[in-house]
Amino acid sequence: MNDRLDPAGAAVVTPKSSANPGNRRWVGKAIAVAVIVAVAVAAYRLHTSGSAVAAAPPPPPVAVSAPLQREIESRIGFLGQFSAVNRVELRAQVGGTLTQINFKDGDIVHKGDLLFEIDPEPYQIKLSEATAELESANARVALATRELARAQELQRSEAGTVENVDQKVAEQHAAQAAVDNANALVRDAKFDLGRCTIRAPFTGRMGTHLVSIGNLVSGSRAGSSPTTLLATIVSLDPIYLDFDMSENDYATFQQVRSSQHGPLADTVNISPTGDNGFSRQGILNFVDNSLDRSSGTIHARATIPNSDFSLTPGGFARVRLAVSTPHPALLVPDAAVMADQTDHMVYVLGKDDVATPRKVEVGDLRDGLRVITSGLMPGEKVIIDGLPTVRPGSKVAPHDGAIQPLADQATEGAKS
């Protein structure tokens, strides 16, 4: 401060300036920066709001269609395994050296085809001996018959005795018994000789041969001693398909079986492993008489035609068994049904083209389409394509689509 005297002689104090020139410049710059920041923020907000309005996406395009209506039957599915109707172990009934094997492992053979041959020479010798014995016995019968006739003639002329006639009768009977015994020996020798060749008992597929040419095989017609297993053969046409029903499925099946008359409850459709559809049919011809207490299932069996021999014992197949007559049902593409834990839903086109989720109950697959058992009406439009872009309650741009059945699929069961 500067002190000076006023005219009256009083001291006057003159204050300094409140800010020097440097401070004034700093304040001005701060105000300018604040104004620039404010203008920039306002411009950014205006630009952002304008961009948001400009970038708002249009409603996503989706394909919609009414559910496909069809007449279908209720059915239950199982997993079954094929088994042969006939399976035979080929064993030697006579012993000897194996001289021929007339098939290749895995061949299809026909009934009566020659499979194995055992050296027949010992049995030909036995047959020759039996034949010679038969000729000798026939000669003795002829002699005894002539002697009996002479003894009877002598008795009639009172030159012979009754005791002599009785003796000749006994001799003639003994000779006849020897003939009968010789005939039996001949048949026995022929039987053994015939068993030197082992032929296919039916048309089927051979397994691997278990002995080789030159091996000595053993056989016993009486079965009292071990016999040599040569190979196995299984029949192929028809073939069995074995499967097990749960107690609940069996109860459902029994109800239908008691109310239906005709082939409905006995016809099965099968899909062997490797097939995409249920192209084969068979007849259910056996259901066991009791449930297995340990598993709670009952055994069942169907007979399947197999004229092309493509089905093999031991293979697996899916089985479908119809348990009702055809009834109306709604079907949608399986991809249009979404799973949410235990629930399933589809998107239905609502008012003003709004996608509305709808809870539904589903059944199995039919021709690649999912059966809807409840929750959907026949005329409603279901979104069948474009689902990834759809949000619940959002607008969509619908266009007409078409639901096309596919070939009958092998997949069974409800959508999980």
pLDDT, one tens digit per residue, over 286-305 is 999 899 989 899 999 999 99
Residues in the chain, total: 416
* Distance from the first to the final alpha carbon of the chain: 93
The top-scoring range by mean pLDDT among 94-103, 244-253, 368-377 is 94-103
CA dist 61 and 401 (Å) reads: 11
Please tell me the predicted confidence (pLDDT) of residue 18: 46
Those residues whose C-beta lies under 8 Å from the C-beta of residue 77, and which sit 6 or more positions away, are 318, 319, 320, 321, 364, 412, 413
pLDDT, one tens digit per residue, over 74-100 is 788 899 999 999 999 999 989 899 999
Q: Against a cut of 0.75, is the pTM above it?
A: no
CA dist 8 and 313 (Å) reads: 138
User: Of 64, 72, 71, 73, nearest to 403 (Cα)?
Assistant: 64
Tokens encoding 84 = 């042969």
Percent of the chain with pLDDT over 70: 81
Partners of 84 in beta bridges:
239
Average pLDDT (147-161) is: 80
Instruction: Report the side by side order of strands in the sheet with 204-206.
Output: 87-91, 229-235, 204-206, 108-109
Please tell me the predicted confidence (pLDDT) of residue 261: 54
- Of the listed ranges 44-58, 267-281, 293-307, 366-380, the least confidently predicted one is 44-58
Please tell me the predicted confidence (pLDDT) of residue 8: 45
Domains of the chain: 62-70+328-400 (2.40.420.20), 75-84+237-322 (2.40.30.170), 92-234 (2.40.50.100)
What number of other Cβ atoms are within 10 A of residue 371's Cβ? 21
